[in-house]
Structure 1
């Protein structure tokens, strides 16, 4: 057991970070990165450098290297599947080489597997100055996937298929990533280092021998060397206004209390009482489902145990228990909720849309959406998705989260190996998913295999003022009122044990591991 601590949530991935830096190619592309050069027709992975020399921008003494060395797949697609049967069991990683209809699968030795993140110490990065002195020498996971894919063969895949990252969170069960035929992914996307006055360095990237052997990299294509020319990214006056800083989106944050939940039974949603149940914008009944939708068109909503748990004193001086919660869709169909504005009011009628084989096959009224006007929000929220409670040993509620509405987007992969899993969700940005104040319509989705994480702090965290020291459980319930149709509700509730201590103004919490998983450490410390 460990004492939890307050910190920002880390959505883990290798190769997902966006680097705010400028990298300029200054020489011609090397020969082995041509459209078909060096291909064998049998399927090969190669390390490919984009240029002999690149310019790297430095901001206030720190240089950021954007992708310039790639892992390229020639004449075949390479698919990697990482999964485990239980949270405390080792992750199994397989490689599948796909040539047309032929698939050849091999399992990686456990010694080179780095959980869901790819290959352990698979990539070595070395930087040397003009005098040959090593200024950086580090090993890092090798992720055979990435966000900035490049085509390397004219007859290869015309677009990406696999996810833009490797990894997940503490409760990720399985991920799938890879490199499409005739495409390449970056080997490094988040390399930064202190320049210490250096203006020219030599960078060598090399794949470790055990990993290179497993991947089948030719010996001549296991390393790449480049000259780095370091230039000032903030000339004449510096970088005022935050230029050069990096920012990423991960879990949703929290702000003020959103008020009491309004429970609307499904029966009233399907009728015409009080104007409820009417069709979008007065439309016809062509898309309405009569009776229960087919299981093949339904999602399976699952509650994940709470994690990243800590105590804090909020801005009003109230003791709080912070936590993160994730609810995910185990498939086989996506969960799609669409909102249609109710006249000119800041309310939308919400409908659950049912899909099978990529086509909409019906819909049901499922609740309401309201516009949430608050700092870092200012978008529409769905009101009937989840409930967070702190309960005692007898399941009696001792504190309730102020979180009452959700902007649903896929923030975390939980299991990309389930039937119907979506590898590249079409919408991952909050603005595009949850709409502006003037919107007439919006769509919020949870694709199969993905979950949505919310960080509960401030008034959305549990109020500990009247909570005595002792052992409690954080109870997370998805689809609490049963208004959303799904294949089963048997997995809608999860519990996480917490031990609350301390005194007013200095409350503490101890969080025992869950099924062998200590979620109160950084993911990279596992």
Structure 2
């Protein structure tokens, strides 16, 4: 167990992880995909002149890429990305990471799909890095042109990559698999892969402090992982020349700083308090005249990849049933196969803090997720000129709207860290005694729903690429007259409860309590079952006013309070 004092849970942008990038359109392009469509993937074995001679045989190979790439510099730091692509020629490669519970080791399998035939093999445990892909599978080295090594890093290999491009016209018209690996503490399964005829960009992003203007980057896939993937012995390393240019000559430095620091909406922040990236971003902001932004809560060390800034224009996707007629709202009971199944995960990353008014508070992260088979879709329609919306739940089957019913209310939430529309009564948070007696409620009782974390992408109806369905979540501004909030099957929405959203401990004595989280507490939302709507997490409070502490026993054998969580 871990004792935490004056610690704060990860900010929502960081726990959003995947969803934050999805909203920017940085994980791929277009196309509605789900588990059903991918399960029957068939691929041709034809190669094209665009493929290299080494790729004439089916399999995974490095795709052709430029021998020279650009890196960007400011304030003495160089940010570079080698643009190395791993392509699937003549066959699809699908990877599943699964575990039975948070404390269980994850297994990793690869399924090769060729001409409709599926061949599955299990990866040796020694090369599996939990949900994050292949352990120590990728090494990135940066050196001078004279061979002096400036930096070298060995990291997990996520075959799913961070971007997709097509390498053969015989492949699918759009990618199928998510462009990430990993998940959160309670993720049960995730999928990644490369479709036949497509290539994934490997995570070779690097930053280092140097004044060199010409560098050499070498990217290598380790022999144990390359052997499992079937890469040829002479095709496991790529070397590229790197030209370093001043970033401010390409991007507006103020916009770069905004990406690094984040926007103070709902406490989102993409940089850690006091870390070097925060300081450099503030320097950029000052140089461009954009100042006065404070960074938010401390959290993950992952920072914005500057190379993705130019890709934001590719955000969005086509509606899965573009142009269909809307349904007339009714009170009829919807069919079960059009309903979501809302589940409450136990609280984690629990800590204490003292707010600006000197109040002791218990902070925590919460995640409510959808076990399927249908998405949770809630839309708001403005009620006159006031700041209220009538909320309707919409029901979908096979990507098409088949019904709707009025389900509650949305209201505009005006606050420094919000200023957008919230759906009321999605969940409730309570601190209760061990016998269930309420002790303190959370001030957070309304939400802007969005898929922030994959929880189980193997559930029926799971959507692998939410950004491609066209059913996007939006929180809206004060002038909005309509908005849509979505939680796809297989995905959860993480919020961190801090400040006034956390539990006030002023009148709470030291002792053992439980954090009770209830999704759909009033039963206003239609779902398949409410039997899994409540979760509990035990906490032990100690300390004295101004210095309260919390001890958090492990949950199902795993300590969720350690600093390094299973991300990406």
Check whether TM > 0.5: yes
1:382 aligns with 2:396: no
What is the match of residue 264 of structure 1?
none
The Cα shift of 1:384 comes to 2.0
What is the match of residue 153 of structure 1?
168
What is the match of residue 450 of structure 1?
491
Cα distance in 2 for residues equivalent to 1:17 and 1:139: 24
1:210 aligns with 2:224: yes
Aligned CA distance change for structure 1 residues 16 and 162 (closer, same or farther; 3 Å): farther
The Cα shift of 1:508 comes to 0.7
1:407 aligns with 2:448: yes
Structure with more contact order per residue of length (Cα contacts < 8 Å, sep ≥ 6)? 2
Aligned CA distance change for structure 1 residues 14 and 144 (closer, same or farther; 3 Å): farther
Larger radius of gyration: 1
- TM-superposition CA deviations, 1:119-169 (whole Å, max 9, x none): 100001122223322221221000011332111112222222211211111
- TM-superposition CA deviations, 1:158-189 (whole Å, max 9, x none): 22221121111111111011112111111125
What is the match of residue 165 of structure 1?
180
Aligned CA distance change for structure 1 residues 416 and 523 (closer, same or farther; 3 Å): farther
Aligned CA distance change for structure 1 residues 396 and 409 (closer, same or farther; 3 Å): same
What is the match of residue 509 of structure 1?
550
1:109 aligns with 2:124: yes
The Cα shift of 1:428 comes to 11
Counterpart pick for 2:70 among 45, 52, 55? 55
Cα distance in 2 for residues equivalent to 1:234 and 1:512: 48
What is the match of residue 277 of structure 1?
none
Aligned CA distance change for structure 1 residues 519 and 49 (closer, same or farther; 3 Å): farther
What is the match of residue 83 of structure 2?
68
1:351 aligns with 2:392: yes
Aligned CA distance change for structure 1 residues 198 and 41 (closer, same or farther; 3 Å): closer
Q: Answer with 296-305 or 50-59: which moved more.
A: 50-59
Contact 1:11 1:250 in 2 (8 A): no
Contact 2:359 2:504 in 1 (8 A): yes
Q: Within 5 Å, which residues of 2 pair with 1:125-164? A: 125-164=140-179
* Structure with the largest fraction of helix: 2
The Cα shift of 1:235 comes to 6.5
Counterpart pick for 1:459 among 487, 500, 507? 500
Cα distance in 2 for residues equivalent to 1:139 and 1:150: 25
The Cα shift of 1:240 comes to 6.4
Contact 2:138 2:221 in 1 (8 A): yes
Counterpart pick for 1:232 among 236, 246, 251? 246
Cα distance in 1 for residues equivalent to 2:403 and 2:19: 38
Q: Answer with 387-396 or 350-359: which moved more.
A: 350-359
What is the match of residue 46 of structure 1?
61
The Cα shift of 1:285 comes to 10
Counterpart pick for 1:201 among 194, 206, 215? 215
Cα distance in 1 for residues equivalent to 2:218 and 2:17: 23
- TM-superposition CA deviations, 1:49-99 (whole Å, max 9, x none): 521122211121221123511111111121111111122211011111112
The Cα shift of 1:426 comes to 3.1
Aligned CA distance change for structure 1 residues 317 and 302 (closer, same or farther; 3 Å): same
Contact 2:265 2:416 in 1 (8 A): no
Aligned CA distance change for structure 1 residues 430 and 355 (closer, same or farther; 3 Å): closer
Aligned CA distance change for structure 1 residues 15 and 437 (closer, same or farther; 3 Å): closer
What is the match of residue 8 of structure 1?
10
The Cα shift of 1:450 comes to 0.4
Contact 2:351 2:364 in 1 (8 A): yes
1:314 aligns with 2:316: no
Cα distance in 2 for residues equivalent to 1:440 and 1:15: 24
The Cα shift of 1:350 comes to 1.0
The Cα shift of 1:458 comes to 0.7
Aligned CA distance change for structure 1 residues 427 and 67 (closer, same or farther; 3 Å): same
Counterpart pick for 1:417 among 452, 458, 462? 458
What is the match of residue 267 of structure 1?
none
Counterpart pick for 1:434 among 475, 487, 490? 475
What is the match of residue 510 of structure 2?
469
Contact 2:172 2:196 in 1 (8 A): yes
1:366 aligns with 2:392: no
Cα distance in 1 for residues equivalent to 2:143 and 2:162: 28
The Cα shift of 1:227 comes to 1.4
What is the match of residue 101 of structure 2?
86
The Cα shift of 1:11 comes to 3.5
Task: List alignment gaps of at least 5 residues for structure 2.
Answer: 25-46, 269-324
Contact 2:82 2:240 in 1 (8 A): no
Cα distance in 2 for residues equivalent to 1:15 and 1:387: 23
Cα distance in 2 for residues equivalent to 1:102 and 1:316: 64
- TM-superposition CA deviations, 1:218-256 (whole Å, max 9, x none): 2222110011222333479x95675496356999549xx
Q: Within 5 Å, which residues of 2 pair with 1:258-407? A: 287-407=328-448
> What secondary structure does 1:246 align onto?
helix
Counterpart pick for 1:183 among 187, 198, 205? 198
The Cα shift of 1:287 comes to 2.6
Aligned CA distance change for structure 1 residues 135 and 245 (closer, same or farther; 3 Å): farther
Aligned CA distance change for structure 1 residues 359 and 431 (closer, same or farther; 3 Å): closer
Aligned CA distance change for structure 1 residues 213 and 437 (closer, same or farther; 3 Å): same
Aligned CA distance change for structure 1 residues 377 and 354 (closer, same or farther; 3 Å): same
Aligned residues: 484
> What secondary structure does 2:234 align onto?
helix
